[in-house]
Amino acid sequence: MWSFSYIANEIHEWLSKTFNPTWTLIIEMVLAGVAVIGLFAVLGLILVIMERKVSAWIQIRLGPNRVGPKGMMQSMADTVKLMVKEGLTPTGADKIMFNVAPVIAMIVAMLLLAPIAFAKNFQLWDLNIGVLYVSCVSSLMVISILMAGWSSNNKYSLLGAMRSGAQIVSYELSAGLSILTIIVFTGDLQMSKIIASQKTGWWIFKGHIPALIAFITFLIAVTAETNRAPFDLAEAESELTAGFHTEYSGMKFALFFLAEYVNVFIVCAIGATLFLGGWMPFHISTWTGFNHVMDYIPSSIWFFGKTFFLIFVIMWFRWTFPRLRIDQLLNLEWKYLLPISMINLLVATLMAMMGWHF
């Protein structure tokens, strides 16, 4: 009863009875915007404390344990600290670009939420080129990073931004080819249809070895695209102070910080949608009784469970592997991941043409 789609339908029906169609549409757009901003805030709080607790667990320590029960309010304390902190702008900085860069980072993250299906029949915008839209819009993130590094008038910021630009442009190729593998299997770019195609099984199982290779490649590539360790050369503290956001403080730093974690959520949500069925329960084509039992679990639980599992894996990467050098990072992409992805896509295309997948 208390599903996302049920609540959305109830709100729509009440607005339709109270206002004319134009005002109903305007109010619904405003409510959607407020909901996205609220989701950003909640995700920031949850993912920061999750990062700290996961790192503590992996390193066999306690992590935050002072603010609130078991340290769970530490994220709230950090938020208050960032909100009251003064935001400084360097004297020699390009002030317009410097102040606009973190805003662009947040706008791009908000735009990426549009085609993601959070639950059954609960999606902001189910456009017919959803996957292409995500691939194109996500490429804009590098613009905010380059703007921040260039406008800061700081050599460390500029070096971090240039590293990030090379890194994101490189790993976008492998991520895109991994996504193309699933598109070849489904024959569609629309998120809802990709999810529907996994009714009899998730593509990571139905697509055999090519889907599994594409999934692993996708995880590695999006970890690099979001500047997460061991690919965090754009923010390498031991080399570049804090990389492209060295000169940022207060809320402007908080926007970059929040955008990073929201981007991690978004890429994991896309990975869960393409490879793990999104909100679709775990189904086995001929096991009718088992499938009915799986259907009792709410679709939103399936979606967020898969997404946070992938987030945990990416956090596991961070606290397991040492940071790569820039030459090692580019060698991994151009000498290994890209050729493997291209061959894998050809094999997946052959399988799709011959109908060799489940």
Tens digits of residue pLDDT in 8-26: 888 888 988 888 889 998 9
**Span between the terminal Cα atoms of the chain, in Å:** 33
203 and 319 housed in the same domain: yes
User: Does pLDDT of 2 surpass 60?
Assistant: no
Tens digits of residue pLDDT in 311-355: 999 999 988 888 888 888 889 999 999 999 999 999 999 988 887
Token pair listed for 179: 């996504």
**Per-residue pLDDT at 314:** 93
70 and 97 housed in the same domain: no
Q: How far is C-alpha 113 from the geometric centre of its chain's CA atoms?
A: 9
Over range 278-292, report the average pLDDT: 84
Asked if 261 contacts 43 with a C-beta cutoff of 8 angstroms, the reply is yes
Tens digits of residue pLDDT in 104-160: 998 998 899 889 999 888 888 888 898 999 989 988 888 888 899 889 888 888 888
165 and 56 housed in the same domain: no
75 and 23 housed in the same domain: yes
53 and 93 housed in the same domain: no
Cβ atoms < 10 Å from Cβ of 267: 26
267 and 182 housed in the same domain: yes
| Closest residue by Cα to residue 218 from 137, 68, 226 | 226
**Per-residue pLDDT at 357:** 65
CA dist., res. 249 & res. 104, Å (int): 17
Q: Which residues contact 354 (CB under 8 A, 6 or more apart)?
A: none
Asked if 149 contacts 305 with a C-beta cutoff of 8 angstroms, the reply is no
74 and 183 housed in the same domain: no
158 and 265 housed in the same domain: yes
What SS3 string covers the chain? CCCHHHHHHHHHHHHHHHCCHHHHHHHHHHHHHHHHHHHHHHHHHHHHHHHHHHHHHHCCCCCCCCCCHHHCCHHHHHHHHHHHCCCCCCCCCCHHHHHHHHHHHHHHHHHHCCCCEEECCEECCCCCCHHHHHHHHHCCHHHHHHHHHHHCCCHHHHHHHHHHHHHHHHHHHHHHHHHHHHHHHHCCCCHHHHHHCCCCCCHHHHCHHHHHHHHHHHHHHHHHHCCCCCCCHHHCHHHHCCHHHCCCCHHHHHHHHHHHHHHHHHHHHHHHHHHCCCCCCCCCCCCHHHHHHHHCCCHHHHHHHHHHHHHHHHHHHHCCCCCCCHHHHHHHHHHHHHHHHHHHHHHHHHHHHHCCCC
65 and 143 housed in the same domain: no
* 117 backbone dihedrals φ, ψ, rounded to 5°: -90, 110
Give the chain's domain count. 2
Give the range of the structural domain holding residue 30, as residue numbers without chain letter. Answer: 1-84
Tens digits of residue pLDDT in 45-83: 999 999 999 999 998 998 888 888 888 888 888 888 888
Give the model's confidence band at 309: pLDDT under 50 very low, under 70 low, under 90 confident, else very high.
Answer: very high
Tens digits of residue pLDDT in 219-269: 999 999 888 878 887 777 666 677 788 888 888 888 888 888 999 999 999
**Per-residue pLDDT at 358:** 60
User: Does pLDDT of 182 surpass 90?
Assistant: yes
20 and 70 housed in the same domain: yes
148 and 195 housed in the same domain: yes
Give the model's confidence band at 1: pLDDT under 50 very low, under 70 low, under 90 confident, else very high.
Answer: very low
Where among 34, 63, 84 does a domain terminate? Answer: 84
Asked if 244 contacts 145 with a C-beta cutoff of 8 angstroms, the reply is yes
95 and 159 housed in the same domain: yes
